[in-house]
Structure 1
Amino acid sequence: MGGLDNGNEARKLFSLHAFEKEEPLDGYAEVFEKVMQYAQGLPLALTVLGSSLKDQTVLQWEGALDQYKQIPDEKIQSVLQVSYDGLTVNEKNMFLDIACFFKGELSADVMKIFESCNFYPKVGISRLIDKCLITVGFHIGMHDLLQDMGREIVQKESKEPGARSRLWSYEDICHVLVENTELVIFKMYEGRIKEIISGQFKNLTKMKFSNCKFLTEILDLSSCSNLEELVIAWCENLVEVHDSVGLLDKLVGLQLYGCPNVKRFPRRLKLRSLRYLKLLDCSKLEDFSQIKCKMELLRSIDLCGTQIKEWASSNIGYLTPTLRSLSLEPSIHLSQNQKEFCLSDYPIRLIAKVEWNSHFKRCFTGIEHLLLTGGGINLAHLLIGIPHMRDLKSLSLQNPTNLAIDEIYSSIGYFTGLEKLQLRARPIFNNSYLDGFSFYCSSTLQELDLSRSVIVELPPSMKSFVKLRILTLFSCNKLQEILHLPPNIQELDAHDCFSLERCPEVSTKFTFYTCDLRELRWIDLNRCKKLDANIGSQVPDPSFVEEHI
């Protein structure tokens, strides 16, 4: 459905249908150029418009063009919509979003937004390009007629603007905000709004504001009694979130991320329905709320990138065994008060001493995923002191200290159900650690990430990890050889291992297209220059996928 590159071809095609000759009639030159601009070389548009305007006067042409700009021609729309109807749900959503909001926007920004919506744009955008529905360069492009079609599809959803999935016209937005009709979902990207004021939107269930650089406050939302999701993303000048947000009884998701100037967050949280709380990269946020009710549905807390230093011990009693994911980040501004329980380098510390056998243990009961950055001995005490850590499936330690890793190793026997282990940027690594992990986790561990560690070689005990499918070793600068691999390994990532010289299984695979690792499907050995030289010239590319193995 691409346009005609040659302007003469477009003029000829239209003239043949409008005038039954290759050139326009005298007196039609000015309006003819307007039609050319409107059709933008699209053959379908040129054909339909030429046929419909045949034998019409110049004034009739002018009137028809004005009408097309307001109400697209039905014949053109019906043909164009055939391509749209063949799209998946995610592809349709991306097409309509581009038609309504993102035409002409930076491609990278649009891709980021679609990824955050779980639209899988790397696949979907390619499909839209293949169907000639969009063009992608530095900016996202779309033919005017295709944009008209997309917006017409949205407008046909309902006569009432508030019941439509998308609003883009100033008049419709004002109508919905003033008349307060049937608005259920409200999203704004790069809007010029300064304050979020709810009005009386009792039917509103979702609000999302992204890249609204003029937004400074979220005011009283108490009238939004049915609000289930509030997302504020990359609003760089947002400073305050009103206390009423902490009292929305039906709120399921509360997310603030990339808002570096937020300083005031609700002082109290009474959110019985909350399932996930994300305060990510809000670098000026120092105070966390007091929890005032049982969070029986809360599954995820992410406080990475904040400056929160204190967490009232009363909060612990309101966290329940449903918590599955806890993400914290180190802070350099902690006081080391030995009379208070402290997660060492972590910004969360409990005000007043907490008994290990009371609320604190219970808040981690049944936790499955834990990501922590930095860490000293109290991290290990946390893990060792909670017997229900046997439910832990995923443990990620970013930049752990030597002391922390030693304590974790001594407690590895508690993690009998561990499926994913990540120990990145470890300053010292002893193969005995892997031997210990293999003894307790060999029958459960599926993913192991030792990237940026100083490991020199993999021990023979690696072969005992019978369920390990993914092994990640990138940027292990001291790694010299990979002699032992799990028997059912599927993916191996060892790129940027500059000292790597030997990997016999890979050499065999390259040379004879066979080896004992029958499940091996993907290997990345990019920039392992010493290994390249040893494998030999028969290797076309150190990064290859299933079809090359």
Structure 2
Amino acid sequence: MGFPHSGTHTQHSERVVEYANGLPLALEVFGSFLSGRSDEAQWRSATERLKKESNKEILDRLQISFDGLEQSEKAIFLDIACFFKGEDKDMVTKILDGCDFFPDIGIDILVKKSLITINEDNKLSMHDLLQEMGRKIVYQESPNEPGERYGSCSREQNKTWTLSADAFLKMKRLRLLRFLNAPNSRDIKYLSNELRLLEWHGYPFKSFPSSFQPEKLVALLLPYSFIQKLWKPDMPLHKLKLVDLKCSRNLVKTPDFRMVPNLESLVLEGTGIADFHPSIRFLRRLKLLNLRNCKSLRSFPSKIGKESLETLILSGCSNIKWIPEVVGEMECLKKLHLDGTGINELPSSIGHLRSLVLLNLKDCCKLENLPSSIGGCEFLTTLVLSGCSKLENLPENLQQIKSLEKLDLSGTATTTPPSFIFHMKNLKFLSFRGSKGPPPRVRAYWPFISSATKSPSWNCTTLRLPAILSGLSTLKELNLSDCNLHEGAIPNDICSLSSLEILRLSDNNFTTLPATLSRLSKLTRLFLTDCKRLKSLPELPAAGLDLWIDGCASLEVVAQSTTACPSRLSGYICAFNCFKLAEGNNAVTMLKTRLKTVANARTKYYDIFIPGSEIPVWFSSQTDVSSKSIIKMQLPPNFLNDTQFLGFAFCCLFFSDFNNKPWRGEHISYRTVIHGRNYSRQVESSFCHLKGNSTRVTEDHLWIHYLPCAKINLSSLVELATPLQIEVVVNIFGINSVVKKCGARIVHEKDLEEMDHTINEHSEPTSSKFDDIHSNDGSNENNIGAPVKRKWLNAKAGDQQGKITLFCASCQSDIVNHRLLS
């Protein structure tokens, strides 16, 4: 394009590339249009014009591709451009098939001609220029008949408006209608009989207009509506395939289904229905039936979907006490959700479900056992039994299911698991969280319960693990949180879990962990939140391991790892309220052990949260009293060509502002900007959301963040005229904590060699003011608090974006760290 060499022109060229969005034709035309224009004002004007007024040459040339399509393909393209961009391909295919557009072949042709795309989530998409062309074609074809094809209105388009009773009277050919909220209206007189899609969130009427004959309707989507009566019993609805009436609480009766033979999906979640019309048995093509949270429903119809049903959701139907044997005849059933129901047993016919891959029985508090026939579900991959507090034993036949990958026994009465569980060779997820004897409600009254009343299963108050775990060679995640595990409860053979990536051990009572943990070479996340008696950690598998030790009041030693972790993009140590650990460990030393090698220091993020009352002197630039939350640092003249440069290290000291207000969490954020002579570029922004008592800041804490050079995209800074300056701005949004001071340092290769000397000569341990709040026995509940759940989201520099999500065990709240890099 012949870009002028200045930062401003680079910004304009990036906007053009962003608008072209990978469309070669657009880049070619834009480049030709901008070629030879060196005046900055012309570029600014041209880029703004391209954004607001698409170049006519591009649209004309795109029109040629459109004109070469068959009529049905044109119709599909226009429908996607005007209505279905971003929608699920399978749903759109059903609707377009109802329009006789032959979408299976038509969509394939459009994809091969690069007129549309299908992303990894099966969503339809197209370039903005192609969408604009499609919309202009529709307008040119019928400028005076806006309702000939489509009607759509989102929440953004109508904040307050009223729909007149005859609003659709002139829209005789309307095929697709969508309202994402309910406009003000008392009545409606007319809806087009040509409708294939009727989507109206919060439909405000009790019924449809009397003249409405929806014989061509394919999808009826009325979530959160006020509908009470649907179609008439004799209304032929042979094309209707999708019905969604989620949370339409005024609906207490299902309609007559005799004239709806092709219905595939029926969502009645959260409605007031108490029973089904007998004609439900005629739905022989039904694949999905969602009855979640239908609290008035007391029984499940015995004759439904035997030939076709694939997903049955009865979650939260607490008044359903039993499941009929006929469920075992649903030969196509793949997913069965019975969580939160009132059942106390499963029908023995459950073993006949050869296609079943998921069985969810979470929080079935009355369920006491599983039928031995469950071993017949040979393709079952997920079995969720968490919260089944009366479930103590598992049938031996369960070991016949060789395909099982996820087994969740959290909160059950299973304290001595059967040995066969530890020989399931395909198991990838196993959880015993909270499995430690009496149910929580009973445990609170334990001292007052007579020995004659206590269940035998309650005598065991700790989870018992076998000595040998080598049979779980494929296990990736193990959750043993809140299992009342004491010293020695975790076997040394835990090292045989060669595929283990996530280990959750929070809320337990051991004082040390097996040294064999260091041999878990694939371990990336270790959760030990609120292990109040834990005193030391052995050497961990890798320096880049993410480690959660919030509220570990007795912890003093974390052994340094001698192994780098080359595959990790980031590393975290969350040590909120670990005051003893902070006394004997310097935060900068902890950062150094994670940088470990030059390769790690160039490519990996690191974050450390730990008690501390002073910014370590290693951070050579520090804020003063007047600018405690904003730090600026001049960069060397040869910064961009410095081959020794590894990254930036930042440190924030924040403290609790005791104002007697209730703890609601904190939101700490910062952004990193590099300033040049001409303009500035933000290279990173990040936030950390703290909730829950384990992260409540009762004393001064430090947040150390390391930004590697590989994530700064140095090449994008070339256009910034020197001298360069880096600025970090830290903010806390909340009522409990305040930023006290910040520090920063440019990290070079020599720092990895000289860091030990600098630390030993100048720095004290991170914390030296916390003697009065130690709790050696882990009983200081007010200072340490409850467990925390954390989520971390990461975004890589440039065009590559990544996402990492970490969950802490037994958790009630979140920590979120989100980086967005330009």
- SS of the residue 1:199 aligns to: helix
Residue identity matched to 1:453: C
**Matched residue, 2:547:** 471
CA offsets, 1:403-451, max 9 Å, x none? 5x62433222321222211111111231x52x3200x21x211221112
Indicate which of 207, 230, 237 corresponds to 1:171. Answer: 230
SS of alignment partner, residue 268 of structure 2: strand
* Paired position in structure 1 for 2:267: 187
Pairwise CA distance, 1:401 = 3.2
Partner of 1:370: 430
Change (3 A) 1:506 1:280: farther
Shift of residue 299 of structure 1?
0.8
Mark the CA change 1:312 to 1:85 in structure 2 (over 3 Å): closer, same or farther: closer
Change (3 A) 1:483 1:308: closer
Partner of 2:348: 267
* Alpha-carbon contact 2:485-2:508 (below 8 Å) kept: yes
Q: Distance in 2 between matches of 1:296 and 1:451?
A: 37
TM-score, normalisation: structure 2: 0.41
Shift of 1:476: 2.8
Which structure shows the bigger proportion of residues in strand conformation?
2
1: CA distance between counterparts of 2:196 and 2:377? Answer: 41
Deviation (angstroms), 1:305 = 1.3
* Counterparts of 1:363 and 1:176, CA distance in 2: 50
1:391 corresponding residue in structure 2? 474
Return closer, same or farther for 1:255/1:447 CA change in 2, 3 Å cut-off. same
Deviations 1:157-216 (A, max 9, x none): x95478426367532386562424211111112212113564222111111112212111
- Between the aligned partners of 1:218 and 1:87, the Cα distance in structure 2 is 36
Compared CA separation, residues 508 and 410, structure 1 to 2 (3 A):
closer
CA 1:344–1:202: 2 relative to 1, 3 Å: same
Instruction: Give me the whole-angstrom Cα distance separating, in 2, the residues matched to 1:458 and 1:80.
Output: 63
The residue number in structure 2 matching 1:154 is 197
8 Å Cα contact 2:286-2:309 kept in structure 1: yes
Does the Cα contact within 8 Å between 2:196 and 2:216 map onto a contact in 1?
no
Could you tell me how far 1:308 is from its partner in structure 2? Answer: 4.3
The one of 376, 381, 400 equivalent to 1:294 is 376
Q: Which residue of 1 aligns with 2:531?
A: 453
Compared CA separation, residues 286 and 543, structure 1 to 2 (3 A): closer
2:738 counterpart of 1:537? no
Q: Which whole-Å CA distance do the structure 1 matches of 2:505 and 2:411 have between them?
A: 16
> How far is the alpha carbon of 1:508 from its aligned partner?
7.0
In the other structure, the counterpart of 1:26 is none
Which stretches in structure 1 are left out of the alignment for 5+ residues? 1-78, 97-117, 121-127, 333-342, 350-355
**Structure 2 vs 1, CA of residues 519 and 364 (structure 1 numbering), >3 Å: closer, same or farther?**
same
- Bigger fraction of residues in helix: 1
Amino acid across the alignment from 2:528: L
- Indicate how the Cα distance of structure 1 residues 242 and 480 shifts in structure 2: closer, same or farther if over 3 A, else same: same
1:339-358 pair list within 5 angstroms: 344=415
Deviation at 1:310, TM superposition (A): 5.7
Mapped partners of 1:293, 1:459: distance in 2: 41
The separation in 2 between residues aligned to 1:133 and 1:506, in whole angstroms, is: 55
Task: Give the 3 Å change call, closer, same or farther, for CA 141–498 of structure 1 in structure 2.
Answer: farther
Partner Cα distance (2:572, 2:376) in 1 = 43
SS of residue in 2 equivalent to 1:461:
coil
- From 365, 377, 386, the counterpart of 1:304: 386
Q: Deviations over 1:249-270 (max 9, x none)?
A: 21111112233x3335323311
| C-alpha distance in 2 between matches for 1:82 and 1:534 | 47
Distance 1:161 1:242 in 2: 35
Output the CA distance in 1 between the equivalents of 2:345 and 2:534: 48
Q: Amino acid of the residue matched to residue 485 of structure 2? A: N
Does the residue aligned with 2:387 lie in a helix, a strand or coil?
coil
| Deviation for aligned residue 1:155 | 3.2
Q: 1:484 to 1:362 in 2, by over 3 A?
A: closer
Q: Structure 1 residues 221 and 316, CA, compared in 2 at 3 Å: closer, same or farther?
A: same
Q: Is the 8 A contact 1:194 1:215 kept in 2?
A: yes
Distance between the aligned counterparts of 1:495 and 1:171, measured in 2?
57
How far apart are the structure 2 equivalents of 1:207 and 1:330?
Answer: 28
Corresponding residue of 1:199: 281
Q: Separation in 2 of the partners of 1:165 and 1:495?
A: 52
Which residue identity is paired with 1:325? K
Alignment CA distance shift 1:492-1:241 (3 Å): same
Distance 2:158 2:527 in 1: 39
Query: Cα 1:87–1:475, aligned 2, differ >3 Å: closer, same or farther?
Result: farther
CA distance in 2, matches of 1:506, 1:372: 36
Distance in 2 (CA, whole Å) between partners of 1:249 and 1:523 is 53
The one of the two structures with greater contact order (alpha-carbon pairs below 8 A, sep at least 6) is 2
Distance 2:86 2:395 in 1: 52
Deviation for aligned residue 1:321: 1.9
Using a 3 Å threshold, how does the CA distance of structure 1 residues 295 and 476 change in structure 2: closer, same or farther? same
CA drift of 1:505 comes to: 3.4
Deviations 1:24-47 (A, max 9, x none): xxxxxxxxxxxxxxxxxxxxxxxx
CA RMSD after TM alignment? 4.8
Counterpart code for 2:408: S
Q: Deviations over 1:492-512 (max 9, x none)?
A: 262643526355139979xxx
In structure 1, the residue matched to 2:763 is none
Measure the CA separation in 2 of the matches of 1:292 and 1:143. Answer: 47
How many residue pairs were aligned? Answer: 397
Matched with 2:316 is 234
Which TM-score applies when normalising by structure 1? 0.59
Q: Residues 327-371 of structure 1, C-alpha deviation per residue, up to 9 Å, x if partnerless? A: 114456xxxxxxxxxx5356xx7xxxxxx6xxx479723222111
Give the AA of the match of 1:465: A
Determine which structure has more spread, i.e. the larger CA radius of gyration. 2
1:327 matched to 2:366? The reply is no
Please give the residue correspondences for 1:208-227 in structure 2 after superposition, counting only pairs within 5 Å: 208-221=290-303, 223-227=305-309
**How far did residue 225 of structure 1 move?**
1.8
TM-aligned CA deviation for residue 393 of structure 1:
1.8
Alignment check: 8 A CA contact 1:465 1:487 kept? yes
Q: Does the 8 Å contact 1:163/1:182 carry over to 2? A: no
